[in-house]
């Protein structure tokens, strides 16, 4: 029994040891690393104002970096607080919901369908708010028209929403009325019956049988048995009046001073002549075969075998669509090259800013890896990559990707590097001449300046060196044997032991 208790105490002492903690005098400069995989991983660099606590691998994260604090319980909550800006941003099970609080605005949304927004100004009476549970409930205030409320489909009024100046409805789709730029449209049993009215404007529609509308000196349009017959004249009050006639699928024509277009037996054959852009286009079995030539762009499309589109600054090519695609963009300020295989299976994106002489690169192979090189030359490789190649979004990178990234490596041209395997079961860090690594719980090592610390089994055997003085300790004891570079016991050994004990937590 006593041997069992002694063994348990030794194991506890082994796993609670912190072999990589700096001494009290050096802590402010060198920082602290305390690990107990997979329960927690704590790292602190007081000189940089940085600290990070990870609990249960990537699941829980508490990080402070300058005036920015991050708290995460992945993938459920990720919150960032900027103390300088007095703002906070939180995502909930990204991209399900998010919120933002700042001195001038507070927002909360769920899939953009449910929203609550508050906008504050310096004057207390200028606070504005709106809310929405789309499409059932919408409430807000228009600076032009005032407050509005919509309870769909029973009754509602909306101002300056959904590309309309006004929207009014009762028991939709039985009745609705919209106003846009002075034109009023009334719908009865939408979309089948409607009327249009305005200054010099009127129209009527019995969809899909017949509809017509006209505004004096502006436009005329009519359809019969939509979409089989449609005729329109628009832009009559401009220098480019346009007439369009469609007898689907036999014939379609568009004619204006700037452009002529014809389609015969859609989608088999068609052509367009854009006189303003000096562009000629031919279409056969649209969108499979198409050619275009002119001053602004040239297109050769023979899908699925080959497609090429050129303009002054861009180039796009497909080979055996959708197998391989190449894109180029080149300007005086920005250049981009991208190669893709099967859309997102493989992607290689290179970007350049010639004026700033900066470069960036991102290479992905789904679902195996992501490689990034930022504009400062810092590179990162991570494995695997389950969603990042498909959805290259910051929310995926923060909330989800750390959960499945088994291996991460970062390095720079200066030689600094970090490695993490199985959420720090093995980790490696190099900063200039300083080096630290650990394979939990077998061995750990740290070297900073004149200090070096190597530990086996979290302190079962531990050897430390500081300014030529070495200390060997066994069995997780807070003291040990100390000697100097000459191999003799260091002077003031008792005092040295006492000081060395401060290396332990």
Q: What is the pLDDT of residues 20-29, one digit of tens each?
A: 444 434 444 5
Task: Give CA angle at 497 (493, 498), nearest 5°.
Answer: 120
Centroid of chain to Cα 33: 30
Q: What is the C-alpha to C-alpha distance for residues 67 and 82, in angstroms, rounded to an integer?
A: 6
Bridge partners, residue 379, by sequence: 373, 411
Query: For residue 496, what pLDDT is reported?
Result: 32
Task: Give CA angle at 34 (32, 39), nearest 5°.
Answer: 150
Q: Between 3 and 413, whose confidence is greater?
A: 413
Average pLDDT over residues 365-376: 96
Q: What is the C-alpha to C-alpha distance for residues 86 and 67, in angstroms, rounded to an integer?
A: 10
Cis peptide bond upstream of 95, omega within 30 = yes
Distances (CA, A) of 403 to 218, 290, 395, 416: 59, 46, 13, 25
Could you give phi then psi for residue 401, rounded to 5 degrees?
Answer: -55, -40
Q: Between 9 and 103, whose confidence is greater?
A: 103
Nearest to 338 by CA among 329, 346, 326: 326
Asked whether the beta carbons of 160 and 177 are under 8 A apart, the reply is: no
Asked whether the beta carbons of 94 and 396 are under 8 A apart, the reply is: yes
Residue 2 corresponds to which tokens in the numbers above? 């006593």
What is the 8-class DSSP label of residue 124?
Answer: G
Q: Buried (b) or exposed (e) across 6-41, using 16+ Cβ within 10 A?
A: eeeeeeeebbebbbbbbbeebeeebbbbbbbbbeeb
Q: What is the C-alpha to C-alpha distance for residues 221 and 214, in angstroms, rounded to an integer?
A: 6
Residue 114 corresponds to which tokens in the numbers above? 């449910």
Query: For residue 349, what pLDDT is reported?
Result: 97
For residue 5, the tally of other CB atoms under 10 A from its CB is 9
Mean pLDDT, the chain, rounded, equals: 88
For residue 440, the tally of other CB atoms under 10 A from its CB is 18
Is a pLDDT exceeding 50 seen at residue 3? no
Nearest to 103 by CA among 89, 90, 115, 87: 87
In sequence order, what DSSP letters do the residues of 244-294 get, joined into one string?
EEEETTTEEEEE-SSEEEEEETTTTEEEEEETTTTEEEEEETTTTEEEEEE
Residue with tokens 């700033």: 356
How do residues 29-46 score in pLDDT, each as one tens digit? 567 888 889 998 999 888
| pLDDT class of 469 with cuts at 50, 70, 90 | confident
Q: What is the C-alpha to C-alpha distance for residues 29 and 27, in angstroms, rounded to an integer?
A: 5
Helices (H), 315-420: 394-399, 401-404
| pLDDT class of 470 with cuts at 50, 70, 90 | confident
Is a pLDDT exceeding 90 seen at residue 448? no
Handedness of CA 465, 467, 470, 471 (dihedral sign): negative
How do residues 394-419 score in pLDDT, each as one tens digit? 999 999 999 999 999 999 988 899 99
Q: Is 107 left (phi over 0), alpha (psi -120 to 50) or beta?
A: beta
Average pLDDT over residues 121-135: 80
Q: What is the C-alpha to C-alpha distance for residues 84 and 294, in angstroms, rounded to an integer?
A: 53
pTM: 0.81
| pLDDT class of 485 with cuts at 50, 70, 90 | low
Residues 6+ apart with CB under 8 A from 147: 139, 140, 141
Query: For residue 486, what pLDDT is reported?
Result: 64
Query: For residue 48, what pLDDT is reported?
Result: 82
Query: For residue 488, what pLDDT is reported?
Result: 61
Query: For residue 315, what pLDDT is reported?
Result: 96
Query: For residue 476, what pLDDT is reported?
Result: 83
Q: Kindly state the percentage of the chain with pLDDT values over 70.
A: 89
Query: For residue 244, what pLDDT is reported?
Result: 97
How do residues 75-116 score in pLDDT, each as one tens digit? 999 999 999 989 999 999 999 999 999 988 999 999 999 999
Q: What is the C-alpha to C-alpha distance for residues 307 and 297, in angstroms, rounded to an integer?
A: 13
How do residues 248-269 score in pLDDT, each as one tens digit? 999 999 999 999 999 999 999 9
Nearest to 223 by CA among 239, 206, 240: 206
């Amino acid at each position: 029994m006593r041997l069992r208790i002694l063994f348990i105490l030794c194991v506890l002492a082994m796993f609670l040891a912190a072999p990589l903690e700096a001494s009290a005098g050096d802590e402010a400069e060198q920082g602290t690393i305390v690990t107990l995989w997979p329960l927690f991983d704590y790292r602190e660099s007081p000189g940089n104002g940085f600290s990070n606590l990870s609990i249960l691998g990537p699941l829980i994260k508490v990080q402070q970096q300058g005036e920015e604090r991050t708290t995460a319980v992945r993938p459920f909550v990720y919150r960032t607080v900027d103390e300088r800006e007095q703002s906070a941003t939180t995502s909930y099970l990204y991209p399900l919901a998010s919120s933002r609080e700042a001195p001038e605005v507070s927002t909360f949304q769920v899939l953009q369908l449910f929203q609550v927004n508050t906008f504050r100004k310096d004057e207390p009476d200028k606070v504005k708010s709106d809310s929405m549970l789309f499409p059932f409930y919408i409430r807000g205030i228009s600076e032009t028209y005032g407050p509005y409320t919509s309870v769909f489909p029973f009754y509602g009024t909306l101002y300056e929403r959904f590309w309309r100046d006004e929207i009014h409805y009762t028991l939709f789709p039985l009745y609705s009325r919209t106003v846009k730029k002075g034109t009023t449209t009334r719908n009865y049993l939408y979309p089948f019956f409607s009327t249009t009215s305005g200054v010099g404007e009127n129209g009527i529609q019995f969809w899909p049988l017949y509809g017509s509308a006209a505004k004096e000196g502006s436009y005329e349009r009519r359809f019969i048995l939509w979409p089989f017959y449609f005729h329109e004249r628009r832009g009559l009050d401009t220098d480019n009046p346009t007439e369009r006639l469609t007898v689907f699928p036999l014939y379609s024509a568009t004619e204006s001073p700037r452009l002529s277009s014809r389609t015969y037996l859609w989608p088999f054959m068609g052509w367009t002549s854009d006189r303003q852009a000096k562009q000629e286009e031919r279409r056969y079995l649209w969108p499979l075969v198409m050619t275009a030539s002119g001053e602004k762009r040239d297109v050769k499309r023979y899908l699925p075998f080959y497609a090429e589109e050129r303009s002054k600054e861009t180039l796009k090519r497909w080979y055996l669509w959708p197998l391989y695609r190449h894109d180029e963009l080149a300007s005086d300020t920005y250049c981009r090259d991208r190669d893709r295989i099967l859309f997102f299976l493989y992607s290689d994106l290179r970007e350049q800013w010639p004026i700033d002489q900066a470069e960036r690169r991102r290479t992905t192979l789904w679902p195996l890896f992501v490689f990034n090189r930022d504009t400062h030359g810092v590179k990162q490789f991570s494995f695997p990559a389950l969603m990042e190649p498909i959805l290259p979004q910051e929310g995926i990178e923060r909330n989800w990707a750390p959960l499945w990234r088994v291996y991460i490596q970062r390095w720079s041209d200066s030689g600094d590097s970090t490695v993490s395997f199985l959420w720090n079961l093995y980790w490696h860090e190099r900063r200039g001449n300083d080096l630290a690594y650990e394979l939990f719980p077998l061995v750990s090592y740290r070297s900073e300046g004149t200090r070096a610390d190597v530990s086996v089994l979290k302190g079962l055997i531990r050897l430390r060196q500081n300014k030529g003085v070495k200390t060997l300790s066994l069995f997780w004891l807070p003291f040990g044997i100390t000697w100097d570079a000459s191999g003799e016991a260091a002077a003031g050994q008792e005092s040295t032991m006492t000081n060395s004990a401060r290396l332990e937590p």
